[in-house]
């Protein structure tokens, strides 16, 4: 048996490596493919070692020997690592690799990614877009367009024109039909991949002037949508469902958002945290928002209260399609300061997923008296930036990375919740009128 323990020392190296990778979350996109391959490889080697040792142990047992307790513990550790690695390889981040590979396959012209709101479709599409932008893969153009609920063909045309360099004064004067012809004539000689984020109905590529992706032109269109039916309407050759995070992955994200300090503040909190995380149903949006909300709650009583409130909101909203609404309401209730809440409600009046200039938003907020401007404009503007910062940290507003952080985007789901349920008609009308000024 002494043999067995000596052998296990070399295996512990593998075990340590794998544990480290799991801690670091190999799934994160940087070097994803390489890291996952190495992880998988290491796990195969570790399991081969385990099998060798098990065979040796059986031989020793046949001769009357006995397994050391330590060996049993080691076997259990390997088993648990194996499960974690399996979960990770199956997990959602790996979808990126698979989706990325599929979207690179030559046979696939149109690919649709569907899934519920807040599940991470845009995030995945953006990651694929970044990969294509970095690696090029023989494409002349990698084009990203956000479509959103209201479909405006001309807006899409203008964005594509801008990305391929057809825009300018002359372009602006052209009619929609001319833009269709010009775009088509330009793109038919190019190899492009077009990413369309958040489509709600069929986007007619011909009407826009986008040549239909075919094996001959080796062009691609990849889009996201909440509705699976849209994938068929778009004639997507590949339809991929973006799924919620698996339990381990979800809890991992939640813990990160809550922070170790809060989790360690009482021995009972980690268990309660599991219950709260479970209520987020594996939705990244909910895990981020609720995780952030809970990060300042350091007593068991506060966590129990959160569970009670979330349970009662879930009943209140039980008829609603979006399971995320009670979670968003809870995080809204927990925002510190009426001005922060009012700012969020105000943002929700902007079109869904619209980019809002921070400067303009702050000007509006001052004019609306949501921010007190009586003590000087500079002070009021600083307050405005502080409020926006609070909302971004709470994952209720997003900053647009490409625009030097001068704009933020209102989360679509929040807008829906607030407009549908929270404001009364008079308030909505008043705010909408202000927006038109
Ligand atoms: N794998 C992930 N890990 C951590 N956070 C994530 C992950 N995927 C998405 N998120 C976060 O969850 C939130 C929602 O993601 P995203 O906007 O991609 O969802 P969506 O499916 O596009 O939603 P919608 O249908 O409303 O457009 C974002 O704040 C995003 O940063
Ligand atoms: Mg989206």
Q: Which residues surround ligand 2, an ion (CB under 5 A)?
A: 122, 198
Residue whose C-alpha is closest to residue 377's, from 362, 388, 356, 390: 362
CA angle 432, 435, 437 (to 5 degrees): 120
Range scoring the smallest mean pLDDT among 10-24, 128-142, 147-161, 172-186 = 10-24
Residue whose C-alpha is closest to residue 245's, from 85, 24, 92, 27: 92
Which pLDDT tens digit goes with each residue over 272-328?
999 999 999 899 989 999 999 999 999 999 999 999 999 988 877 666 556 777 888
Ligand nearest to the CA of 124: 1
Range scoring the smallest mean pLDDT among 94-98, 200-204, 295-299, 388-392 = 94-98
- Per-residue pLDDT for 136 more than 60? yes
Residue whose C-alpha is closest to residue 117's, from 353, 350, 276, 295: 353
**Which residue's CA is minimally distant from atom 2 of ligand 1?**
284
| Separation of CA 119 and ligand 1 centre (Å) | 5
- Per-residue pLDDT for 436 more than 50? no
- CA–CA distance, 210 with 223 (Å, rounded to integer): 14
Looking at residue 407, its pLDDT comes to 63
Range 138-142 average pLDDT:
91
Looking at residue 215, its pLDDT comes to 85
- CA–CA distance, 437 with 433 (Å, rounded to integer): 7
| Separation of CA 388 and ligand 2 centre (Å) | 21
Q: Give, for ligand 1, the residue of 118, 283, 291 to mutate: max count of ligand atoms closer than 8 Å to Cβ.
A: 118
**Which residue's CA is minimally distant from atom 28 of ligand 1?**
285
Range 208-212 average pLDDT:
97
CA angle 386, 423, 421 (to 5 degrees): 110
Residue with more model confidence, 39 or 162:
162
Looking at residue 114, its pLDDT comes to 93
The torsion angle over the Cα atoms of residues 224, 230, 233 and 234, rounded to 10 degrees, is -10
Looking at residue 31, its pLDDT comes to 54
Highest-pLDDT range among 27-31, 86-90, 387-391, 417-421: 387-391
**Which residue's CA is minimally distant from atom 4 of ligand 1?**
284
Residue whose C-alpha is closest to residue 242's, from 289, 288, 283: 283
Mean pLDDT of the chain: 81
Continuous H helices in 91-167: 92-104, 121-135, 153-164
Residue whose C-alpha is closest to residue 361's, from 336, 388, 340: 388
Looking at residue 172, its pLDDT comes to 93
CATH number of 95-241: 3.40.1390.10, 3.40.50.2300, 1.10.3210.10, 3.40.50.300?
3.40.50.300
| Separation of CA 96 and ligand 1 centre (Å) | 13
Tell me which residues have their CB closer than 6 angstroms to ligand 1: 92, 115, 117-123, 198, 226, 253, 284-285, 288, 395, 412-413
| Contacts of residue 36, Cβ cutoff 8 Å, sequence gap at least 6 | 26, 27, 89, 94, 97
Percent share of the chain, pLDDT over 90 = 39
Range scoring the smallest mean pLDDT among 95-104, 178-187, 214-223 = 95-104
| Separation of CA 240 and ligand 2 centre (Å) | 15
Which pLDDT tens digit goes with each residue over 70-88?
888 888 888 888 877 776 6
Range 405-426 average pLDDT:
53
- Per-residue pLDDT for 168 more than 60? yes
pLDDT band at 98, cuts 50/70/90?
Answer: low
Q: Does CATH number 1.10.10 belong to domain 336-436? A: yes
pLDDT band at 99, cuts 50/70/90?
Answer: low
- CA–CA distance, 122 with 411 (Å, rounded to integer): 12
Which burial class, exposed, middle or buried, applies to 297 when counting CB atoms under 10 A from its CB (0-12, 13-18, 19+)? buried
Looking at residue 85, its pLDDT comes to 76
Range 343-357 average pLDDT:
75
Percent share of the chain, pLDDT over 70 = 76
| Separation of CA 286 and ligand 1 centre (Å) | 9
Looking at residue 263, its pLDDT comes to 96
- CA–CA distance, 348 with 360 (Å, rounded to integer): 15
Domain residue ranges of the chain, discontinuous segments joined by +: 2-90, 95-241, 247-332, 336-436
């Amino acid at each position: 048996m002494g043999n067995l323990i000596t052998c296990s020392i070399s295996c512990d190296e593998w075990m340590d490596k794998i544990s480290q990778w799991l801690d670091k979350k190999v799934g994160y996109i940087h070097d994803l493919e390489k890291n996952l391959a190495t992880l998988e490889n290491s796990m195969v080697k570790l399991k081969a070692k385990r099998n060798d040792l098990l065979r040796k142990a059986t031989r020793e047992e046949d001769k009357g020997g006995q397994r050391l307790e330590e060996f049993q513990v080691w076997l259990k550790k390997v088993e648990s690592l194996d499960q974690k690695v399996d979960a990770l390889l199956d997990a959602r981040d790996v979808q990126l690799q698979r989706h990325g590979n599929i979207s690179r396959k030559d046979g696939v012209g149109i690919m649709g990614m569907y899934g519920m709101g807040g599940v991470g479709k845009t995030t995945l599409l953006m990651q694929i877009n970044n990969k294509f932008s970095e690696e090029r893969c023989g494409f002349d153009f990698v084009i990203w367009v956000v479509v959103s609920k209201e479909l405006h063909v001309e807006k899409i045309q203008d964005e594509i024109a801008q990305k391929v360099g057809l825009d300018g004064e002359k372009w602006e004067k052209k009619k929609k039909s001319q833009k269709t012809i010009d775009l088509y004539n330009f793109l038919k000689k190019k190899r492009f991949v077009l990413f369309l984020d958040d489509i709600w109905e069929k986007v007619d590529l011909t009407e826009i002037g986008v040549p239909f992706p075919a094996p001959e032109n080796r062009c691609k269109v990849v889009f996201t949508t909440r509705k699976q039916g849209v994938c068929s309407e778009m004639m997507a050759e590949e339809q991929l469902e973006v799924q919620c995070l698996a339990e381990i992955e979800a809890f991992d994200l939640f813990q990160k958002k809550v922070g170790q300090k809060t989790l360690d503040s009482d021995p009972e909190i980690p268990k309660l945290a599991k219950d709260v995380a479970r209520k987020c149903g594996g939705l990244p949006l909910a895990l981020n928002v609720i995780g952030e909300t809970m990060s300042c709650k350091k007593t068991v009583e506060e966590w129990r209260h959160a569970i009670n409130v979330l349970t009662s909101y879930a009943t209140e909203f039980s008829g609603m399609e979006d399971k995320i609404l009670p979670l968003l309401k809870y995080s809204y209730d927990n925002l510190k300061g009426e001005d922060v809440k009012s700012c969020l409600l105000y943002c929700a009046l902007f079109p869904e997923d619209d980019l809002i200039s921070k400067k303009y938003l702050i000007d509006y907020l001052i004019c609306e008296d949501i921010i007190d401007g009586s003590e000087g404009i500079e002070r009021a503007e600083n307050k405005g930036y502080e409020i926006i910062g609070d909302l971004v940290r709470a994952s209720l507003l997003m900053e647009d990375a490409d625009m030097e952080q001068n704009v933020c985007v209102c989360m679509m789901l929040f807008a829906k919740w607030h407009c549908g349920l929270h404001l009364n008609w008079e308030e909505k009308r008043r705010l909408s009128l202000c927006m038109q000024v």
